A = this chain, B = another copy of it.
Amino acid sequence: MPKIKLDRIDRKILALLQQDGRMPNNEVAERVGLSPSPCLRRVKALEESGVITRHVALVDPAAVDLPVNVFVSVSLERQVEERIDAFEAAVMALPEVMECYLMTGDADYLLRVVVPDLASYERFLKEHLTRISGVANIRSSFALKQVRYRTALPLGHLVE
């Protein structure tokens, strides 16, 4: 995917679609000050070039009984390399892991895990996380409240 140059209009389009992915092209065009066809061309280009990766529906976690967020710091045994790939592959197979980052600092990985309740988390720990080979240490921190959760990246840092 070639690095696309994004001008002011592209960023406006992205901002709009990040906010409402179903906004009809007509409205997008109007809001960015373009006529529908060049606007549609831009949107399609943004999709095909991978700038827009996908369109999704967001679901309320509470409504599907997944109100608990747990952040898990994982340290691996010091034999890196193969362990790394194995761990990441194992993590990718766990549906309750919403996010996973390879980190600098004390722990190797930071995960965000969603579960219905503490009991479920305990089960998740015992039956899945601790069974991944190479895991040396696990530290769990629970979120009392999700103050903010956004999927829309801030785009004001390039122009406004």
Contacts and interface: CB of A to CB of B under 8 A. Distances in A.
A64 to B, nearest CB: 6
Given A57-B54, A157-B116, A147 B100 contact: yes
Contact of A143 (B53, B95, B102): B102
Interface of A: 1, 3-4, 6, 11, 14, 17-22, 49-61, 63-66, 69, 71, 88, 91-92, 95-105, 109-110, 114, 116, 120, 141-158
Nearest to A65: B158
Contacts of A143: 101-104, 110
* This chain: copies in complex: 2
Contacts of A102: 143-145, 147
Contact of A153 (B20, B49, B66, B103): B66
A61 B95 contact: no
Given A1-B63, A17-B56, A50-B60, 11 more contacts: A14-B57, A49-B63, A50-B63, A64-B158, A65-B157, A71-B103, A96-B157, A98-B153, A100-B146, A101-B143, A101-B147
A144 B57 contact: no
Contact of A151 (B4, B56, B88): B56
A51 B56 contact: no
